[in-house]
A and B are shown apart, each in its own frame.
Chain A
Amino acid sequence: MKQLFAFIQKEFYHVFRDKRTLLILFGMPVVQILLFGFALNSEVKNIGVAVLDNARDAASQQLISRISSSRYFHLMEPLLSYDEVENRFRSGKISCVIILPSRFGNLLYQDEGAPIQIIADASDPNTATTVNHYLNTILQQHVQEMNAVLPAAFNIIIETRHLYNEEQNGSLNFIPGVIALIFMIVSTALTSVAVVREKESGTMEVLLVSPFKPFMVLIAKAIPYLVLSLIDFIVILLLALFLLDVAIKGSLLLIFVESLLFIITCLSLGLLISNVTNSQQAAMMLSMAGMMLPTILLTGFMFPLENMPGFFQVLSYAVPSKYYYSIIKTVMLKGLGIAYVWKETLVLVGMSAILLSLALKRFNIRLS
């Protein structure tokens, strides 16, 4: 136990004396939160929209003024015919076209409802998705309000629904993503580099010759980064709470336990990477390409998975951060409990067990 303590103490000396490590540890979370929270906000405002109103009746005018009053949309010059749609999109001034059918006012009161066509510029799929969400919300609100004052119910056909984060507040969704990313950097990349550094400097050899057990070497290497990951986790939560006014809806304890589990997954991965590489650069590259890139690309936190080719959607199931992201989003933003995330939790437990046993096994093979 005393040996372990001496080792962990030494590990902290390494961390606090390396400026680069410190910068990554404490600069990165703050910068990322600020970056995603303010600069890279996925919220879209002042979307240019043009309407092709084939009805020109009271109901259609009402709807159009409703849309134009939204701060998200900026109503452009109306379209006169369908042929203009293509050209207007090409002009780059609009991202969305709304087409109202003729006799819109009459269709509203029929059982099938009045069809509205929304055409969004999907060259930027994220914006297109957002625009679609916003419009749907506005249309739905419109229907609800009108139904409240009108004697006969009317109906607009809208298929999409989104229940959570109605305002599409961009700053909410990225927080679980940033936490996952930071864990990947601290627990996977920094840990693997710290182990490989000892191999490079020759001190690993000395440790292995000492009575300190190889298994304990790995544990002692991992514990400091576990602690540091948790500190980063708390920093991010505090920033989210006080700087971005994010309300944490679910159980803090559950969020903490799930994060601890994911940190263990990341640490196991880091130890495995350190076993298969012999240089710090290789370990860094493997952590970056192998783990951070998939975390950014395949968890759905920056780019919607639904818009990706099937191959990548399947591939995403192998990425641990996908499950963690989904867990934290569910618990933190939706306020749901373990009953809704137990499957993802089990996947993470399984992944950790496999990765850790692989890491230990390889470590022992290297010894004999």
Chain B
Amino acid sequence: MGTEMDKVIVCRNLTKQYGNFKAVDSINFEVNAGEIFGFLGANGAGKTTAMRVLCGLSYPTSGEAWVAGFNVYHQQEQIKKHIGYMSQKFSLYENLTVWENIQFYGGIYGVPHAEIRKRGRELIVSLGLEKEMKKLVGELPLGWKQKLAFSVAIFHQPRIVFLDEPTGGVDPLTRRQFWELIYEAAAGGITVFVTTHYMDEAEYCNRICVLVDGRVEALDTPSKLKSIFNASSMEEVFYQLARGAKRKSD
């Protein structure tokens, strides 16, 4: 697929250890620019730990990793400038209005004031939130909050956006609409790194990486994985892989 320059995330034997416990055990993978990369695993498989390292929130124990071309050991500040992040909690301020949330997140990423206004308006229009602009986010329905949270996470035009189980708690229809936004972002050149445990979501990804007990057990496109494991759905693939897990999910 693409040249070395196109690799937005590179992990080489990346390990994160707590005492004797290897939360992430020597994982290797690469993510290409503009790709939607799914990170699958049971609870406790090491998804979140790996993601925290890649987001510059913690240091790896050993191995190497680059995000947007920056090293996770000594260029965390640079990494943070080039990534966006959204968690299952949506990360918007409920008692701030839609517009204030946009202004705030634009502000802490250092987007110039004029730029925030211009792009903020465009965003409001594209989401169809003109009437709700001055409403408190707490009053919006869940699906809208989620879309807004995603749009805010990529407002500063990062190279990569990390989504940590972004569609928790919403129905499949809303999830679908949400994925349309993800596709749009990917088409615009933003790489999407998404953790999930919804298998219908896994099918939407370009490539899937399955983590079991902190190790990469499978990595390929959904259709390839299905044929390798002779399965009809991603659910089945996942089940076959996760069965071998020794760690209990918590």
Contact = CB atoms under 8 A, between A and B. Distances in A.
Contacts of A367: 57-58
Given A6-B107, A10-B100, A13-B100, A210 B80 contact: yes
Interface string B88-105: 111111111000100111
B93 A14 contact: yes
Contact of A206 (B58, B77, B87, B96): B87
B96 A209 contact: no
A205 B59 CA distance: 16
B97 to A, nearest CB: 9
Contacts of A201: 89, 91, 93-94
Nearest to B116: A6
B96 A10 contact: yes
For this complex, into which size category does the number of interface residues on chain B fall?
20 to 34
Interface in B6-40: none
Question: Most chain-B Cβ atoms within 10 A of its Cβ — which of A6, A9, A205, A209?
Answer: A209
Nearest to B58: A368
A210 B110 CA distance: 10
B173 interface: no
B104 A209 contact: no
A207 B100 CA distance: 16
A3 B81 CA distance: 13
A5 B89 CA distance: 25
A199 to B, nearest CB: 10
A83 interface: no
Interface string B62-99: 00000000000000010011010111111111111000
Interface of B: 55-59, 77, 80-81, 83, 85-96, 100, 103-110, 113, 136, 153, 162
Given A6-B108, A9-B104, A14-B96, 16 more contacts: A7-B107, A7-B108, A10-B96, A13-B96, A13-B100, A201-B94, A205-B85, A209-B55, A209-B56, A209-B80, A209-B162, A210-B80, A211-B77, A211-B80, A211-B108, A212-B108
